[in-house]
Amino acid sequence: MGSPKKLRKQFEAPKRQWDAARIKEERKLVDEYGLKNMRELWRMKTILRKIRREARRLQSGKGKNIEQRTHLLLNRVKSFLLPDPKSLEDVLALDTHSILERRLQTRVQRMHLAVTPLQSRQFIAHGHIAVKGNRVTAPSYLVKFGEENAVTWYNKPVELKHEQVKALG
């Protein structure tokens, strides 16, 4: 586990910090998904990078207990990224959009509980959203497929203004 006094970063920063094309692409993702800053995006990319790295290792056939490790990886991916992964190729086909779509902030907006990603982030941070009846205040919470229908309001729903309801369509 390690010492709680020695916390480590949860993300890997890009190798080229000032690459204009990368910054432009990441800024578009940050705006689209309503992320707080680039570090949140880098954290999601790091999670995805680790999963894909393990899939490549397993695909190469090196190491021990390949079948068992493959089964564990597919079960991990099955819980929150892909509903039914058939093979390691499905895991390798994942991209950043697939993990960003599983964040609670995005799920709340897609379920029309909020109009914008920033509003859904605010509802979550203020404690208005619950998953399986438990209040969740982390917008970066990765919603599992089994919990997707259990995302609701905590206690009473927040009423949206008439203009906001029109924007939802």
**Per-residue pLDDT in tens (0 to 9) along the chain, 169 residues:** 568 888 888 899 999 999 999 999 999 999 999 999 999 999 999 999 999 999 999 999 888 899 999 999 999 999 889 988 889 999 999 999 999 999 999 999 999 999 999 999 999 999 999 999 999 999 999 999 999 999 999 998 988 776 666 666 6
User: pLDDT at position 75, please?
Assistant: 93
What integer pLDDT is reported at residue 163 of this predicted model?
Answer: 67
Q: What does the pLDDT read at residue 4?
A: 81
Extents of the domains making up the chain: 20-100, 104-168
Reference 55, options 65, 67, 70; nearest CA is 70
The CATH architecture assigned to 104-168 reads: Roll (3.10)
d(C-alpha 124, C-alpha 114), whole Å: 10
Measure the CA–CA gap between 164 and 155, rounded to whole angstroms. Answer: 21
Q: Contact 81/102 with Cβ under 8 angstroms?
A: yes
Sign of the torsion formed by the C-alpha atoms of 98, 101, 103 and 104: negative
- Structure pTM? 0.89
